[in-house]
Structure 1
């Protein structure tokens, strides 16, 4: 895809109800500029898929869309084959919508866990707690290596270029929780087509997660706020429910090969369903 076509693909994602971030196209392309594929006929784009390679060992598949009116013609399978060819030699992850999960199983993907998207309506939000043993501060005030180390808890390989941009992209607010000079967690909130999303939200325990969550809520623009929670983290589910959030959507995290060992007990919010 050319850069403008990534914007087009995210527009299609919005029509599917996936609510991408306003600045996602630029951030996604930084992760892998060649990782976004489009199917065309007579120069008219009909479908898309992302096949983002994070180095030689791991990739993530997303944005798998064929336009209404063009489905059932083999376009999706052609996109799928092109994406999987890009991933040659890598293990691959994806967040599959319910309707496609059986197809992904037949293609060699194994279920790892459910993710649940929670939404908080544009209503009064919970106040930030005031713990005495740690403080919140902008993530940019910390050495990048400290944030990158926390990010490895929620992602199987380094993704420094993407993370640099994600922390500082226009409209994004990134906070870190600090105790005794050490980063105990971090989170990002970004504006979306509808409201805002928190992701990632990574914390060493539920108290740190609650403080970061409240701090990010305080920075949210008007509108609903969304949080994508890995279901195995019961503390994250409780955090969302105690904040008055309601489940609105779900995916299945699936992998080819051996699933990576992630510290899901410390992952309170997934970065994105499109890039992992």
Structure 2
């Protein structure tokens, strides 16, 4: 008859131990956060929050906030950019439950220009000063340097007039989306082979990656030698390179990854001609099951009419046309060879 009571005592003891561990962990987190707090604020309901640097263990939650406002990013792309500039990422954290309620980042891919991305506030905390709080800390990181971003129509005036990003690049980015399955018949509308051109799958330790880095720099016109191996090496990424079989010259390269919206994300695709770019796109989609079964996103530039036509061959829908706004100057890019940008966040191309 005493067994149930003994079991209850044992269960209660275990629960008490768990509670103590949680309290110890919570207290530890509070102490760490207290040392990292950059600014504080209060929501209208009295909930306090603070702004701090983003940590890698925040990434999943940061992506959920981004997803909650209907936007996409690669599943592992933030980690790649964070490795380049870890001081450029900021989050607002509720002190009520420790959840992330706002975020932004500005990455210096090259020394003179930062590029902003993942600027978002959780829907239930919007228009309460959270966005301004993280933006303010981010701009301290940027300082007086040039900075830019892609602007949605609904935010264009705010960025241009309030944030003073007044210089608009003549080149705009066009976002395409393919929803659902891409049939073999539809995919067959693209170039599938080119005489004397070989496609090879690229890993971060392959010799050809040095050619890719060198070629990428001629297109982007700044050094992305640290970023490119990280993008290619993402665990969900597929990278293909097009090689002239006679000269062994690199003709272009492309990458495809998974995204947080359960579709594939294409980018970058840099190529020396539109037919090489289309060839790369065909094989990236064909070899990436998620792209064929669930759809994909790609972002090209409006000056590249051939590749916009390629997107229509795949029955993609045009989602947004995004102006590029900068503080002091527009970075010079070899746009004729950019068929798909790397990401909608953190990078000028």
Match of 1:116 among 174, 177, 202: 174
Do the aligned residues in 2 keep the contact of 1:59 with 1:90 (CA within 8 Å)?
A: yes
129 and 55 in structure 1: CA distance in 2 versus 1, 3 angstrom threshold: closer
Look up the match of 1:264: 335
1:155 paired residue among 191, 210, 220: 220
Structure 1: gaps (5+ residues): none
1:35 aligns with 2:80: no
Moved more, 149-158 or 2-11: 149-158
Q: Conserved in 2, the CA contact under 8 Å of 1:138 and 1:175?
A: yes
Structure 2: unaligned runs, 5 residues or longer: 1-53
Partner residue in 1 for 2:46: none
How many Å separate the matches in 2 of 1:44 and 1:190?
A: 27
Contact 2:263 2:296 in 1 (8 A): yes
* CA RMSD, Structure 1 to Structure 2 (Å): 1.8
Provide the residue aligned with 1:203 in structure 2: 271
The answer to whether the 8 A contact 2:77-2:234 is kept is no
2:230 counterpart (165, 180, 185): 165
Counterpart in the other structure of 1:247:
318
**What does 1:28-177 correspond to in 2, within 5 Å?**
28-42=81-95, 43-106=98-161, 107-109=163-165, 110-112=167-169, 113-121=171-179, 122-124=181-183, 125-127=186-188, 128-140=191-203, 141-177=206-242
Q: How far has the Cα of 1:136 moved from its partner? A: 0.9
- Does the CA contact (< 8 Å) of 2:106 and 2:138 recur in 1? yes
How many angstroms apart in 1 are the aligned matches of 2:62 and 2:319? 22
Q: Distance in 2 between matches of 1:205 and 1:55?
A: 26
Structure with bigger helix share is: 2
Change in CA separation of 1:56 and 1:123 when aligned onto 2, cut-off 3 Å: closer
1:184 aligns with 251
Task: Classify the secondary structure of the residue corresponding to 1:175.
Answer: strand
* Counterpart in the other structure of 1:228: 299
Higher percent of residues as strand: 1
Native 8 Å contact 1:50 1:64 kept in 2: yes
Count of aligned positions: 276
**Which of structures 1 and 2 has the bigger CA Rg?**
2
C-alpha deviation, 1:50, in angstroms:
0.7
Change over 3 Å in CA distance of 1:216–1:65 after alignment to 2: same
Check conservation: 2:85, 2:107, Cα contact below 8 A.
yes
Write out per-residue CA displacement over residues 49-102 of structure 1, whole angstroms, 9 at most, x where no aligned residue.
011122431211111111223222222122222112211242212112221111
Match of 1:23 among 66, 76, 79: 76
Distance in 2 of aligned mates of 1:265 and 1:50: 28
**TM-score relative to the length of structure 1:** 0.93
